[in-house]
A = this chain, B = another copy of it.
Amino acid sequence: MKQHDYAVIMAGGGGTRLWPVSRKNRPKQLLPLLGEQTLLQGTVARLADVFPAERILVVTVAPQVAEIQHQVPEIPAENYLIEPAPRGTASVVGLAATVLMKRDPEAVMAILPSDHFIRNGRLFQYVLTESFELARKGCLVTLGIAPLYPSTAFGYIEQGKPFEDNLKYPVYHVRRFTEKPDEKTAQAFLGSGEHSWNSGMFIWRADVIRDEIRRQMASLSSVLDEVQRTWGTAEQEQTLQSVWPGLKSETIDYGVMENADRVVVLPAGGLGWSDVGSWDSLFDVLLQDAGGNVTSAAQNLSLETHNTLIYGDNSDRLIVTIGMDDTVIVDTGDVLLVCKADQAQKVRDVVELLKKHEQERYL
């Protein structure tokens, strides 16, 4: 990466879609779902190959800072941007762009979730390098994922004409962003060959996105003006604390991207990407054994078992399966989940039920 290139990691999220492993106070990016590393550590490791640690920023909330510093000590303390309260990705992007511009007026930034899984880190790094080249030219680059199946769980990006002829990697003008489609529409998108999944990863110049926010999100922009005025002064913290809670929660996709100029999509295939949005989506990207199983339990014995995910976090416990197919088994200290894989999204219903019945200790 070049001198003015920065990576901004969004690490403030909560969410319980990987319940019971992810919990209210233990979001999935901070958990070792897939081996030794946590998703956050994996994200930082992928970036640290191509960015010096001084140019990797983390946006988070106060309660998560200590754990993040513990997990990725290489990130300098001054690179933490701490939101008083989470207010959606638009405000994260705005805050990061504002702070980076004070630090480096020529900053180009990638905005990246901390809780995604990417199996092919090298290809990702290459795609990122190409994206920064495009961003330097003033483009708002969205990283699209070439769809593997007609998912109804992702937003889609429809590509228009090629952006330029001579690029090493094909890039397109964006014709349209669409929200999560129904099954039939998803099938049509997949068949068209002109739609990518929206990964939520973007690359742009800090000044370009800041201008777009000014043009399209007036109230966020005026808050960012306040932040910019006081950042680096004694008032920095006080200003942030006073202006931030009043912000409306919005995503950068709908707040800015849909009506921005010079938006391009780089549809990446072969990344082995997953947003790890549910147990079955996690299963899709993991390498399976000969029986189609994925096992993270230290002690496991499976007979006649196929296409089954076995997650165990206790190295002394033996997990035995007999005759199981297409099942997700998640064994944690206080909760056991046994779930048919194609119904893994119902974990959300379970979480809602537990909330309703005030079973706080399991949330």
Contacts and interface: CB of A to CB of B under 8 A. Distances in A.
Contacts of A350: 301, 303, 320, 322
Contacts of A362: 318
Interface in A297-323: 301, 303-304, 312, 316-323
Contacts of A347: 322
A21 interface: no
A320 B340 contact: no
Nearest to A304: B343
Contacts of A322: 337-340, 343-344, 346-347, 350
A331 interface: yes
A323 B343 contact: yes
B303 A317 contact: no
A336 interface: yes
Interface string A7-37: 0000000000000100000000000000000
A258 to B, nearest CB: 35
Given A301-B350, A343-B304, A349-B303, A327 B338 contact: yes
Contacts of A339: 320-324
A306 B339 CA distance: 12
A317 B336 contact: yes
Given A342-B323, A346-B323, A318 B301 contact: no
Contact of A335 (B317, B335, B340, B343): B317
A318 B327 CA distance: 18
A334 B316 contact: yes
Contacts of A337: 320-322
B319 A336 contact: yes
A26 to B, nearest CB: 16
A213 to B, nearest CB: 41
A338 B320 contact: yes
Instruction: For the complex of A and B, list the 9 residue pairs with the smallest distance between their C-beta atoms, beginning with the closest.
Output: A323-B340, A323-B343, A322-B339, A318-B335, A319-B336, A320-B337, A322-B346, A321-B338, A322-B343
9 contacts: A301-B350, A303-B346, A303-B349, A320-B336, A320-B338, A321-B339, A322-B340, A322-B344, A324-B339
